[in-house]
Amino acid sequence: MECIVRRKKLIRWGRFSGAAAAVIGLLAFAGADRAQATVYTLASPDATVVGEDQTVETVYTDTLYDLARKFSLGSEELIRVNPGVDPWLPGAGKKLIVPGRHILPPGPHEGIVVNLPEHRLYYFPKPKRGGPIEVITYPVSIGKMDWRTPLGLTRVIGKQKNPTWYPPESVRKEHAEAGDPLPASVPSGPDNPLGLFAMRLAAGNGTYLIHGTNNPIAVGLAVTHGCIRMYPDDVAALFPLIPVGTQVRLINEAIKVAWVAGELLLEAHPPVDAQGQSFEPDIDQFTDMLRAAVGVTTVAINWDYAREVLQKADGVIATVALEADDPNLPVPEPAPIPAAEPAPGTVPAMPSTPSTSTQ
């Protein structure tokens, strides 16, 4: 399996920006000392936004890494919306923004969807007859450098508890050159970077996995050798829910938009390159992407504010446009134009025969 723990310098992308929109869903918590499982019940099949942002006050024992895990965030998610706060020693009484609202990823809401720039996994269980429509979401790590996580549609082809890690030759060579030789195999336990649960994907001839980790602090970063890594308690919760054969869709959507109550909501994340590395957003390119997402809908976009949100790319949802009509409603058929009354003493013109064309 092309997976191994790596550390990466944390990147801060800007300050927090407020947002306004209705919250759809229900947040369920998994305990004070463990990551909070984010299970949302959707109000309708076409719901587009889940969760809520919140503010918390630190105590002297907190670190941003512990709080990120507790609130089901990647460490970088929490750090970049709280610039100027020491991630290791934030201090007691510090008010932190916890970004918890998410626009659901575009495309079919089936199986597992992983959005690479967002460093986030969404799972859409098949609803039971008469049961609620739900989505479960977790932060993940993705591939780094030339060990890119592949894009496209794949599926789960196998599951394993307490997996043994067999480092591929390419990984062992890399470590040997760095003076850190690896054994041919690593049994299940605290030194195994796969954690206690692994789900094998069909992508890459079965070399890619969704799995746990023995280094939770790095969840949310581009630090793996192509695999998708989760917090240990998150993968333990997800593992029994995923049947073999579950569809997995890997996407690269740095910006997401949604219409809610006549407002255009924008969520922007640092884009990732072909190697899975985050980089500073190109504002002109981001602006073109926003225009394409809006399409021909007539809206009043606050472009100064929209560009500010795109520049920060901190993942916090913001309202950047308003419109009078809901674009999700069907466009009414135009009323027929009544035929003009013929002038007195004239014969009404006969309708022409419709022409046909092979074009």
- CA dist 299 and 13 (Å) reads 28
Q: Are the C-beta atoms of 281 and 196 separated by less than 8 Å?
A: no
Q: What is the mean pLDDT of the chain?
A: 78
Reported as a single tens digit per residue, the pLDDT across 258-307 is 888 888 899 999 887 665 666 666 778 777 877 777 776 667 888 889 88
Beta strands in the chain (DSSP E): 38-42, 49-50, 54-57, 95-98, 102-103, 111-115, 120-124, 133-139, 142-143, 152-161, 197-201, 209-211, 222-224, 228-229, 247-251, 255-260, 263-268, 300-301, 318-322
CA-based angle 144:162:32, to the nearest 5? 75
- Distance spanning both ends of the chain, measured CA to CA: 54
More confident residue, 5 or 318: 318
Q: Which of 119, 211, 225, 269 is catalytic?
A: 211
- Which of the residue ranges 23-27, 156-160, 192-196 has the most confident prediction, judged by mean pLDDT? 156-160
- CA dist 126 and 27 (Å) reads 19
- Which of the residue ranges 51-60, 224-233, 343-352 has the most confident prediction, judged by mean pLDDT? 51-60
Q: Are the C-beta atoms of 237 and 149 separated by less than 8 Å?
A: no
Cβ contacts of residue 39 below 8 Å, gap of 6+? Answer: 26, 27, 28, 134, 135, 136
Residue 331 parent element (H or E): none
Reported as a single tens digit per residue, the pLDDT across 114-124 is 999 999 999 99
What per-residue confidence (pLDDT) applies to 139?
Answer: 95
Average pLDDT of the residues in 157-180:
85
Least confidently predicted of 206-215, 239-248, 277-286, 314-323: 277-286
Helix (H), strand (E) counts: the chain: 7, 19
Average pLDDT of the residues in 314-341:
62
Residue 71 parent element (H or E): none
- CA dist 66 and 87 (Å) reads 9
Tokens (6 digits) for 351: 């309708």
Reported as a single tens digit per residue, the pLDDT across 220-270 is 877 776 789 999 999 999 999 999 999 999 998 998 988 888 888 999 998
Distances (CA, A) of 53 to 159, 160, 186, 315, 349: 34, 35, 40, 11, 66
Q: What is the DSSP letter of 45?
A: T
**Residue 211 annotated as catalytic:** yes
Domain boundaries, the chain: 255-322
pLDDT at 29 over 60: no
CA-based angle 137:143:145, to the nearest 5? 150
pLDDT at 144 over 80: no
Q: Which of 109, 119, 225, 227 is catalytic?
A: 227
- CA dist 317 and 312 (Å) reads 11
